[in-house]
Structure formats: structure tokens, C-alpha cells
Structure 1
Amino acid sequence: MHSPFVFKYVTQCLYSGKRLHRDKSINVLLKSIAYFNFDSISINHQPIIKELVQLNFPKIRFDENMVDLLFVNQLTVPAFQKILSEGKLHYHSLILVSSIYDNHRNLEQWNQLITLPEITVSIDMYHCGLISIRREQVKEHFTIRI
């Protein structure tokens, strides 16, 4: 692994002994919120997950403007470009895409996303994928077993 950012995230967050939820995507979401100490997140159209996050992190703000973390079930290239153009992501924002292998369409969308020049880091965790727009990072794609 070449990226210190990804190495720390994987070893100190994803591979930490804590299991916060039985669903792997939700577990990654909760662990990521705790690890990065996010203040503002957006969870689209998933009230049960939003409620779970609120229970675990009562100070978290759910925002539709600029966010630290965006959690979505699927993400298309046009939707990602719209999010960028609307200024919803800042320099250190992350996007967690759930269910990237649930069907052929989701996987195809994921593979299109990770080729975009704006996306510098992508982590395929099978159950979900994380993308980053960290400009100081050399473009790399990682496949991690969780």
C-alpha cells in the first residue's frame, strides 16, 4: 500500500476490532464517522440509517450543503458532477457508496466513477466503496477486504 492516508484508514479504522453494526456498509459508515470525527454528513433517502447515525453520534449535523461525508446507495457520474458543481464537497470530503456489487449497473457506475480525474483515491471494499477528491494524493485505487 503506497498511501499513508489509506494505510492509516484501513489499519486504524476499518481493521480496528470494533464492530458497530452487522451490515458491513453501515459498519464502515459508523466507523468512518468516528475515525474522521466528521461534523456534517448527508445520507440520502435512508431514514433508518440516518436515525442510527444520530443515536451513535448525537452531535452530528445532517446537511445538504457542504458535507464531510456523503453516504449514498448508488452514484452515477452525472450525479457526482452535479454534487461537485453545487459545492457540496470540500477538500477533505469523502463519499461512501453502498452496494457497489449488488448488481451489474451499480458496479458499472462504480467503475466509471473511479476513472474520473477528480477522484484521486478509491477504495473498493466489496460491500461498499469510498472515494476521495484529495488533490495532494496521487490517483490510486485500492481493493480492501473487510
Structure 2
Amino acid sequence: MSAYKKQLLQHEDKIQVTDLGAGSHATKQRERFISEIAKNAGTPRKRAQLLYRLVTYFKPNNILELGTSLGIATHVMSLANPKASITSVEGCPNISKVAKANFEKLQLKNIELITGNFNEAINKLTSNTYDLIFFDGNHQKEATLSYFETLLQTAHNDSVFIFDDIYWSKPMTEAWETIKQHPRVTVTIDTFFWGLVFFRKEQLKEHFTIRV
């Protein structure tokens, strides 16, 4: 896990980045070093460790990730459950190419990487059922709510949705508050950087805030 990110941080190549979402807080440059993307956009160690524990605990068989980036989180989920089938969607072709090359190099055979617009990709995936969905791509309110509503039909009673950067911006926090109030949502956990959503009908509606 740490070796994978370390390798990316030492990468000296530059690529043209296509931002289809809210972009980066760190830079607006179109041409960026891969090492810079890994540092600013890659999943931090603390979050990677939490994601590993969550996947190990819930043992999701079918995982969807919106926003592959360089594949750090994807790699973590693959390690946590090698038997899982992981579908990851990345909007930027050049970033996707780097991630795919790394997955092949590490022989991660349980990852299907889709390159393209999130809306188009999601519409082709709605007939599937997912145990875990990691929303980590477009940090805009309207897009986040749209993806959530569309992918609700892929969730079952024990599914878990994870929303990244719920305090990225005021509109993103508003999206999180809207999701919490959805009638199908029963339990949420706010970790200050992620929002976890559960749909278990046997549980009363509750919202928890936990600093991890």
C-alpha cells in the first residue's frame, strides 16, 4: 500500500489533466507531474488505512469507485479483498492510463477500469448490485446528488456508500446533508472527511459523528 504510493511520488513524468469535476484545491494547472497528483489528489495514508479496514470488515464482493485518480484507493480495496470485483471509473484519459499500467504491473486482476464521463458510465452500471460504492470523483453538489440518486437502485440492505470530502465546499456539505435526510438512508457516520451511508431497514434513523 505505502510502496504503491511511494512509487507514484517518485514518478517524474508530466501528463495533461482533464478535470471533469470540481478540480483540485491545490492547483489549476492542466499539465501536472504524476508525483504532484499523487501528493495532492491521492488518498492520504490515514484514509487508505481506514478504507482497508472498512473493506476488510464488510467484505464487499462488488465494489464501484467513482474517481480512480492514480488508483491508490483502488489498490487498497483490491488488497483488502482480493476476491472482490472492483469497477473503477476515471474521467481523465491520461490519469486512467497511468493507473491501468500500474494495476497491470502489480497484476491486480480484480479491477475493471472504465475511462469516461461519470454520467455515461453510471447509466451503463445501474443493472448491477454493489456492496460498496466509493464516491471520490466529482466534488460538486448537483453531480454528487445525481450520482447518489442514480446509484440508489444498485444498493441493497447491507450496501455501504462512502462519500469523500464532504466538507470540500459549502455546496458539497449541503449535498451531504441532503443525502442524510433521504428516506432510504437509515444510518450515517461523519468522519469529518468521509461520509458513510447505510441502508439497513432494521435500524432506526441515526446520524453519528466520529473523529477517526
TM-score interval for Structure 1 and Structure 2 normalised by the shorter chain = 0.7 to 0.9
- Partner letter of residue 53 of structure 2? K
1:25-104 to structure 2, matched below 5 A, reads 25-46=47-68, 47-48=70-71, 49-63=73-87, 64=125, 65-73=128-136, 74=139, 76-84=144-152, 87-104=153-170
Q: Give, in whole Å, the separation in 2 of the partners of 1:104 and 1:23.
A: 25
Cα shift at 1:101: 1.1
- Partner letter of residue 134 of structure 2? F
Judge conservation of contact 2:55–2:80 (CA < 8 Å) in 1.
Answer: no
Instruction: Indicate how the Cα distance of structure 1 residues 91 and 103 shifts in structure 2: closer, same or farther if over 3 A, else same.
Output: same
Count of aligned positions: 124
Cα shift at 1:22: 4.6
> Runs of 4 or more off by more than 4 Å in structure 1?
none
Q: Give, in whole Å, the separation in 2 of the partners of 1:32 and 1:52.
A: 11
Q: Give, in whole Å, the separation in 1 of the partners of 2:175 and 2:46.
A: 20
- Partner letter of residue 198 of structure 2? S
Cα shift at 1:51: 2.9
2:106 matched to which residue of 1?
none
Instruction: Indicate how the Cα distance of structure 1 residues 130 and 52 shifts in structure 2: closer, same or farther if over 3 A, else same.
Output: same
1:130 matched to which residue of 2?
196
Q: Give, in whole Å, the separation in 2 of the partners of 1:94 and 1:136.
A: 15
Q: Give, in whole Å, the separation in 2 of the partners of 1:57 and 1:92.
A: 17
TM-score by length of 1: 0.75
Farther-moved stretch of structure 1 (72-81 vs 125-134): 72-81
Q: CA RMSD in A?
A: 2.0
Q: What is the CA deviation profile of residues 2-42 of structure 1, one whole-angstrom value per residue up to 9, with x for unaligned ones?
A: xxxxxxxxxxxxxxxxxxx8533333221110011221111
2:210 matched to which residue of 1?
144
Q: Structure 2, unaligned stretches of length 5 or more?
A: 1-42, 88-124
Judge conservation of contact 2:164–2:194 (CA < 8 Å) in 1.
Answer: yes
- Partner letter of residue 208 of structure 2? F
Report sequence identity in percent.
Answer: 31
SS at match of 1:91: coil
2:45 matched to which residue of 1?
23
TM-score by length of 2: 0.53
Judge conservation of contact 1:124–1:143 (CA < 8 Å) in 2.
Answer: yes
